Amino acid sequence: MPKSHLPISKLLPVLPAETQERLHEYADRELIRKGISRPMESVEPGERAVVRYISTRDVDRDSEILDPAGAVMDEYLKNPVVLWNHNYSEPPHAKAAWVRSDEQGLQSKTVYAETPRAEELWQLVSAGYLNAASVGFVPLEYVVNGGPGWTETVKRLGRKWDMAPESFEVVNAIYNKWLLLEYSDVPIPANPQALIQRAKSLGISAKLLGEMGLDNEPETKHGTTEPQRVHVVGYAPEVVRAVDAVDIRQIVQECIATAQGRV
């Protein structure tokens, strides 16, 4: 997964001219990427397309909230391409037929092309093995916990979303207005081992498996295959982050040693 923050000044050269002009006043800011992993709403019958949320108003693992009503989509809709893993150097593999904001988040209909790369991703997405999407956006207006405008924002959104003020105590920042630049399919599989087996049966390329971090299958001493990744759920159930399995074992061992008084 690419870094979650990227200076706009470094991104400008690869953006369309119109978008560059719009973003020049924000050149000192950062592009922020936030991903979610949740079941798709539907696979469109007779089409190479899925309808799903690409962003929600849930508290994410950074303890932040994206207000769906604050999404500014005019720049994105001029060229509504869908990327793989925020890779601006590769051609898009899909496009957004539409993007809509509702009380829960941003929904989009993603239509997949008929290129070899798009076919690989379509097979995995349509079968439910890849459910993650990530938006790349530029903050335009935001408030931080305890700062100017925080109390008013919490009251307004609390009434709108029927949430108690206490629900916002864990939130660090709320983005009230944000410019959507792109969204991507990202490699956060719900079940890595199942994905590996499915990918093999579909003949998914080693290159794509490598980009998803699923190109190696460590063997146990008994000859069985261990999952390469363990997925840890963050504060919001929809947000999943991949962690190396060896890190989990080390953490568990340290916790046991601490409990036994050896550390």
Question: How far is Cα 171 from Cα 62, in angstroms, rounded to an integer?
Answer: 8
pLDDT of residue 92: 92
The reported pLDDT for the residue numbered 78 is 87
Q: Give the orientation angle of helix 116-126 with respect to helix 192-202, to 10 degrees.
A: 130
Q: How many CB atoms lie within 10 A of CB 89?
A: 6
Asked if 94 and 113 touch (Cβ cutoff 8 Å), the reply is yes
| Cα dihedral 153, 141, 160, 61 in deg (nearest 10) | -90
Q: How far apart are alpha carbons 46 and 7 in whole angstroms?
A: 41
- What tokens does 109 get? 């209909």
Measure the CA–CA gap between 207 and 215, rounded to whole angstroms.
8
Tokens of 169: 């105590």
How many angstroms separate the most distant Cα atoms in the chain?
Answer: 62
Nearest CA to 112 among 181, 47, 54, 53?
A: 47
Domain residues of the chain, as ranges?
A: 5-185
6-15 confidence digits (pLDDT tens): 666 666 666 6
Report mean pLDDT in 10-residue bins for the chain, 263 residues.
61 65 70 71 82 90 92 91 87 95 93 93 86 88 96 96 93 95 77 57 69 54 38 32 40 51 47
